[in-house]
Structure 1
Amino acid sequence: MAHGPIAVYGATGYTGKLIVAELRRRGVEDIVLSGRRADALREVAEAHGYGSDVVRAAAHDDPAALRAALDGCAVVIAAAGPFLQVGEGIVEAAAATGTHYVDTTGEQPFMRRVLDVHGPIAERNGAALVSGMGFDYLPGDLLCAVACEGIDEVEELTLAYAMKGFGATRGTLRSALVMLGGGDVEYVDGAFRETGLKLPRGTFDFGPGFGVQPVTRYPSGEVVTVPRHVNVRTIRSRITAVTFAPHPKAAGLVPLLTPLTALTLRTPLRGVLHDAIGKLPEGPPLEERRAAKYTLVAVARPTGGGPVARARLDGTDVYGITAVTTVEGALRMAEDGYDRAGGLAPAEAYDARSFLDALAEHGVTYDAPVGSAAIA
């Protein structure tokens, strides 16, 4: 393994603590825990059997402290969000210091900044930056890669998310408020274009477990990352409407109500909601977290006709698997001989099938065509 510890920035948050626990489970002794509050970081270190010497406090808006926190580190896992508000400093420090970087963001506009703004700097300094490494959106990016193996050009790629029992953390809810402010894009006819507030309505057949479900547009990270490694004309990203509905019977109203919600959040009400989120539990309890189930389906339609490729991935525990995927990615980057650099999609940074196979012991299964053997 390459020299230098694995750093966790945002180690005191809900997901950050899960990441620290996963590092301990994997037997990683050489770590750095960073974030704004030294006292809280020491508590996390002690709770997971690390000494106080692993603590390097650094505020998100203190460039010098952030660079000092990464001094000598091989990789940093960033878990402090909302990333559009507090994530810029740590990725900037990673790119400048040549430290490999992965993060847990679900914010598509931030992912674009990592790739387009910080990626070129990181490449010059020999660091790889991979954004969206958690449940959203590493599994989906890798699934799209294997679904499209052997297809010269994909006319349309649809990636659909379905979830049951998902309970959001405070951090996820705050990121959602930021995302509703706009700035997300679609990939249509070989180019990015900004989306409007109006959401499309439709249905998608997920197959066993979920069946046919009402879906709506999802500003997922795969829209940004997949065109980097798949020759695709158009990407459709969808999610079950019930995911955002207060009751399953209200799922059909979500595409109608979301534009109104987004407009409302461009008023002072955003601050009121932000404060209200702070009074909620930090995140779902262990039993609830592990009970959550999800399915991802990628459907690739080749240009000029031919068999349609369909790949599926199933798993449980959204936040638990995020800890696994970020740590797995960081450890792969820290291996001797890892030589990829710049802003990268997950499938550019890692071998897609090898990474997905490594998730099997954590309950993630996938079914995808091999090579050109697409399935209808």
Structure 2
Amino acid sequence: MADREFDLALFGATGFVGKLTAEYLAEAAPAGARIALAGRSLEKLTRVRAELGPGAADWPLVQADSTDQASLNALAARTRVVVSTVGPYLRYGLPLVEACAENGTHYADLTGEPLFIRECIDRFGERAAETGAKIVNSAGYDSIPSDLSVYQLYKRTVEDNTGELTDVTLVAWLKGGVSGGTVDSGRAMMEAIAADPKKGAIMSHPYSLSPDKAMEPDVGRQSDQALERASNIDPSLDGWVATFIMGAHNTKIVRRSNGLLGWPYGKNFRYREVMSAGKSATAPLVAAGMAGGIVATMAAGAVLSRVAAGRRLLDRLVPKPGTGPSEKARKSGWFTMRTFARTTSGAKYVCTFAGKGDPGYAATAVMLGESGLTLAFDQLSELAGILTPAAAMGDALTDRLRKAGMTIDVDIA
């Protein structure tokens, strides 16, 4: 792809997260990087580019629409990498993935939608592998911290020769907001399941994104629901933990990475994610409320999504696409993910992955931007197809995120 016009094209640059990613690329891209901004409206793209400062003044603008396959094919053919923030991906993302798979163009997105990834695997996986395209899903807060944490834990066990991973649990602490786009992605999946209930199994099965379910470890039931004392995970932890709303997606990505890499994490590898509910006297009630609230909210959304009147009600109640936390809220956000692991030899490790800024927006713009730059400029393995961040970019992306100010450390627990 050395003769292509652009190194990286950002599709959806006028959207909420798209603008944040464009701002990050304007600051972080190396000198001479050939970056283009793409989207439906040249007028809006022009305004976004003008706000990015002199470094982006000469960035080309490309008109492309998710409903126009020819425009997406043309975009993919002109660039080495496409970074997409245009969601919900289940509604709007498949044509661009098809274009990248056909043209051998690398791709990264922010999806937290297992149904979309399953469609990508089934429809475009073989073609992407043939053309050499690295199609990397979930390259933001969903699911880079989860995926790289387990990958780095695995690398440490190999370095120390302490055996295979067995029980691994990620505990999340965070401060952040919710955007209309995130809510709309959830609605898109609920509406898809309402139209085809069989798709519900993709959401619930722990190995629904596996490259080969027959090869997965037989470790019994693995659930993403949680309500327990944090000390059950590790004696160093206080308080309570509850269900982590993105755990059901992140765990599938981590397990897919294991399969794509040849199942090196271990034949008894068990993985789950939880969220801290604090350690106050009311923490058990908070934890119970978090766990029950997630289930109740998803159930209510699924019921309402089945009928037109319910969908109209959701339109009035939930945040609108294109909206999100204020700049002040984004700057005050933060996240810390600590992943506790045991090995077959009895060794215990903890990986800390932490960053500043609202995890779903400020920090995600960094992760997505660096993913695009990694795909464009770094030496990576020959692996191609529908990939995960760890399988496609493991060590290279880890190094970039550390240089960008994020903490990714593995220590003996």
- Fold agreement, TM-score > 0.5: yes
How many Å separate the matches in 2 of 1:342 and 1:257? 37
Is the CA contact 2:128–2:135 (under 8 Å) kept in the aligned structure 1? yes
Report what 2:388 is aligned to: 345
What are the within-5 Å matches in structure 2 for residues 13-28 of structure 1?
13-27=15-29
The Cα shift of 1:250 comes to: 4.0
Mapped pair 1:366 → 2:408:
yes
The equivalent position to 1:202 in structure 2, one of 228, 244, 255, is: 228
Is the CA contact 1:156–1:300 (under 8 Å) kept in the aligned structure 2? yes
The Cα shift of 1:16 comes to: 0.5
TM-score calculated relative to the size of structure 2: 0.77
Report what 1:277 is aligned to: 318
How many Å separate the matches in 2 of 1:356 and 1:9? 24
The equivalent position to 1:314 in structure 2, one of 340, 354, 360, is: 354
Judged with a 3 Å threshold, the aligned counterparts in structure 2 of structure 1 residues 65 and 257 are, in CA distance, closer, same or farther, namely: same
Judged with a 3 Å threshold, the aligned counterparts in structure 2 of structure 1 residues 113 and 160 are, in CA distance, closer, same or farther, namely: farther
How many Å separate the matches in 2 of 1:48 and 1:108? 33
Q: Which moved more, 1:183-192 or 1:330-339?
A: 183-192
Q: Which moved more, 1:321-330 or 1:85-94?
A: 321-330
Q: Which amino acid aligns with 1:219?
A: A
Please state whether the residue corresponding to 2:298 is helix, strand or coil: helix
Mapped pair 1:238 → 2:273:
yes
What are the within-5 Å matches in structure 2 for residues 130-141 of structure 1?
130-141=136-147
Report what 2:206 is aligned to: 186
Q: What do residues 224-273 of structure 1 show as CA deviations (whole Å, max 9, x unaligned)?
A: 33323343434433232759xxx975442232233332232222434422
Mapped pair 1:175 → 2:206:
no
Is the CA contact 1:16–1:79 (under 8 Å) kept in the aligned structure 2? yes
CA RMSD, 1 decimal: 3.4
Percentage of pairs with the same residue: 28
Please state whether the residue corresponding to 1:300 is helix, strand or coil: strand
Report what 2:210 is aligned to: none
The Cα shift of 1:343 comes to: 2.1
Please state whether the residue corresponding to 2:206 is helix, strand or coil: strand
Mapped pair 1:289 → 2:300:
no
The Cα shift of 1:53 comes to: 7.4
Report what 1:372 is aligned to: none
Is the CA contact 1:66–1:89 (under 8 Å) kept in the aligned structure 2? yes
Is the CA contact 1:46–1:52 (under 8 Å) kept in the aligned structure 2? no
How many Å separate the matches in 2 of 1:100 and 1:360? 23
Mapped pair 1:30 → 2:34:
yes
The Cα shift of 1:87 comes to: 1.3
Q: What do residues 270-295 of structure 1 show as CA deviations (whole Å, max 9, x unaligned)?
A: 44223443558811122211211211
The equivalent position to 2:252 in structure 1, one of 216, 219, 223, is: 223
Is the CA contact 2:166–2:269 (under 8 Å) kept in the aligned structure 1? yes
Please state whether the residue corresponding to 1:158 is helix, strand or coil: strand
Q: Which amino acid aligns with 1:168?
A: V
How many Å separate the matches in 2 of 1:20 and 1:162? 27
Please state whether the residue corresponding to 1:163 is helix, strand or coil: strand
How many Å separate the matches in 2 of 1:345 and 1:27? 22
The Cα shift of 1:143 comes to: 1.0
Judged with a 3 Å threshold, the aligned counterparts in structure 2 of structure 1 residues 191 and 15 are, in CA distance, closer, same or farther, namely: farther
Q: What do residues 282-321 of structure 1 show as CA deviations (whole Å, max 9, x unaligned)?
A: 1112221121121112222224x52122212121212222
Judged with a 3 Å threshold, the aligned counterparts in structure 2 of structure 1 residues 254 and 45 are, in CA distance, closer, same or farther, namely: same
The equivalent position to 1:9 in structure 2, one of 8, 11, 14, is: 11
TM-score calculated relative to the size of structure 1: 0.84
Q: Which amino acid aligns with 1:334?
A: A
How many Å separate the matches in 1 of 2:128 and 2:227? 40
The Cα shift of 1:77 comes to: 0.3
Q: Which amino acid aligns with 2:91?
A: Q
The Cα shift of 1:59 comes to: 2.2
Q: Which moved more, 1:199-208 or 1:329-338?
A: 199-208
How many Å separate the matches in 2 of 1:271 and 1:234? 43
Q: Which amino acid aligns with 1:78?
A: S
Is the CA contact 1:45–1:54 (under 8 Å) kept in the aligned structure 2? no
The equivalent position to 1:326 in structure 2, one of 368, 372, 387, is: 368
Is the CA contact 2:38–2:63 (under 8 Å) kept in the aligned structure 1? yes
How many Å separate the matches in 1 of 2:317 and 2:44? 23
Report what 2:298 is aligned to: 262
Is the CA contact 2:82–2:372 (under 8 Å) kept in the aligned structure 1? yes
How many Å separate the matches in 2 of 1:175 and 1:194? 27
Report what 2:127 is aligned to: 121
How many Å separate the matches in 2 of 1:326 and 1:313? 16
Q: Which amino acid aligns with 2:45?
A: L
Judged with a 3 Å threshold, the aligned counterparts in structure 2 of structure 1 residues 368 and 57 are, in CA distance, closer, same or farther, namely: same
Is the CA contact 2:257–2:391 (under 8 Å) kept in the aligned structure 1? no
Judged with a 3 Å threshold, the aligned counterparts in structure 2 of structure 1 residues 255 and 121 are, in CA distance, closer, same or farther, namely: same
Report what 2:79 is aligned to: 73
Mapped pair 1:59 → 2:62:
no
Judged with a 3 Å threshold, the aligned counterparts in structure 2 of structure 1 residues 284 and 76 are, in CA distance, closer, same or farther, namely: same
